[in-house]
Structure 1
Amino acid sequence: MDRRSELREFLRSRRARVRPQDVGIKGYGARRRVPGLRREELAQLAGVSVDYYIRMEQGRGGKVSTEILDAVALALQLDETERQHLHSLVLSGSGTTKTKADYTAQQQHVRPGLRCILDTLENAPAYVVGRRLQILAWNDLARVLIADFPSLPLERRNLARLTFLDETARQRYVNWQKKADDTVAFLRVDAGRHPHDDEVVRLIAELSEKSEDFRRMWADHTVRDETHGHKPLYHPAVGELDLSFETFRIPDDPDQALTVYAAEPGSPAASSLRALAAKARAGESFAEVV
């Protein structure tokens, strides 16, 4: 990934969304040629020289202090995920992040204890996702409701590929557009954390080539790490299921996350999950589930 290009476009996109009047800057009338903040206005708000900010935006600023990055983040009204993304993009050029050799040597493994937790969640679809949105582990109900992970080649066990390249995902996620937006936003977070990972670069290139939707969303430079929310799913055997989800980072490996879907107790969705889970455990066909 071209770190300088990513940093430049991210900062440009964030400058463009800040209205000058919202940060107390006057003179934003009809003659204004650029949307949002100009570089010199952002530099003033962050308390740095215009030349210094321009060099930083272009990735030529050398070592940048945490205080300056936080000042820029505050001026741009970044949320916490965006602030961390900015730090990652800048620090990736300082020699403090992993090298390509590190990624070649390191593989992610799901601890046996975490796999045991997945298996105990019999009536709740759950899976563990790792770097590059690779699905590392899952329980039976996730296999039935989201994707038949064991039957997929290893490279297809990937949340981004499933979302954009598998037609089944467009059926399973009731609000596919929201799911796709969230997927792209988190993939950019992952790419910012690991800019020297050739596999994530290849994944982005593949999705850009094969999916017009992905290309359009990727160009927005959105970063977001959604940890909970409402995400209804659909299964042809039971129809729509009104579900919520929670995502938990694994303490000893922050690049792994456990996502669990749940239904309101006593709701139709809860009954549907139990029916799907019972059929999955029995190895029966889903055609008879109603």
Structure 2
Amino acid sequence: MKLRKVTAASAAALVLALTATACGGDSKDDDTSSSASAGSGGGGKIKVGIKYDQPGLGLKKPDGSFAGFDVDVATYVAKQLGYQPDQIEFVETKSADRENALARGDVKFIAATYSINDERKKKVDFAGPYLLAHQDLLIKSDSDISKGTDLNGKKLCSVVGSTSAQNVKKTIAPDAKLKQVSSYSECIAGLQSGAVDAVTTDDSILAGFASQDQYKGKFKLAGLKLSNENYGVGVKKGDTATVDKINKALEQMVSDGSWDKAVKDNFGPANYKNEPAPKIGVIVPNAS
């Protein structure tokens, strides 16, 4: 009888252990596909893609913390999904790897100067847009450049592979002297030293650099609005539930004033004349 009792007890313990193991296996702290409710007090984490090297937008600081408009947007959205700041793991997602990062499930969503266009929409879904940026020029505060044609004969800097500089040469200033480098930081340093006369890319990116302490008051945006860049939050293709939740979070961010505060905090020192917060689902096309 004692043997049967011990055996029964052992069997019961085994069943309980297996049940606990099975339940534990369904919960991963770093599960990027966790629902918003899983983040609400459940100890889960959410992985979010951002840039690490764009001041004012997505920047990893020397102390390991993160700052920028995209970071503020991502943090606000994650909170609306049920995650506190200490439950967010920011993952560097460079431009060339954004679609793959979402497809692999490396991140739940991406907020990284991710312009919405038809080609990208074939591979990922977008919430937003949450910012309307424009291609522009960054010039010295005392520069006499006031229109695109003023760049003829001047030195224009952009990064290798950028379409921004090519756009200027093809449509505005064919005689601009193009200098291509590996990073916008190099362009900004060249602008400061006088090695180049202007830097071109999205005005939000330029404003972020100009807002850095060492550059405050030295540069200005030309305000040319050479293109429309509708920044969206990238989500894995087919994940419409997450898109809907993020859209609601973005609407809330605008309505409660957090969006305006984030713009001023991150771009204010550059006197960035931002567009009003865009309407969800409304894409502003480029002029044909």
TM-score range, shorter chain: under 0.3
Q: Which has the larger share of helix?
A: 1
* Bigger relative CO (Cα 8 Å, ≥ 6 apart): 2
Q: TM-score, normalised by structure 1?
A: 0.23
The structure with the largest alpha-carbon Rg is 2
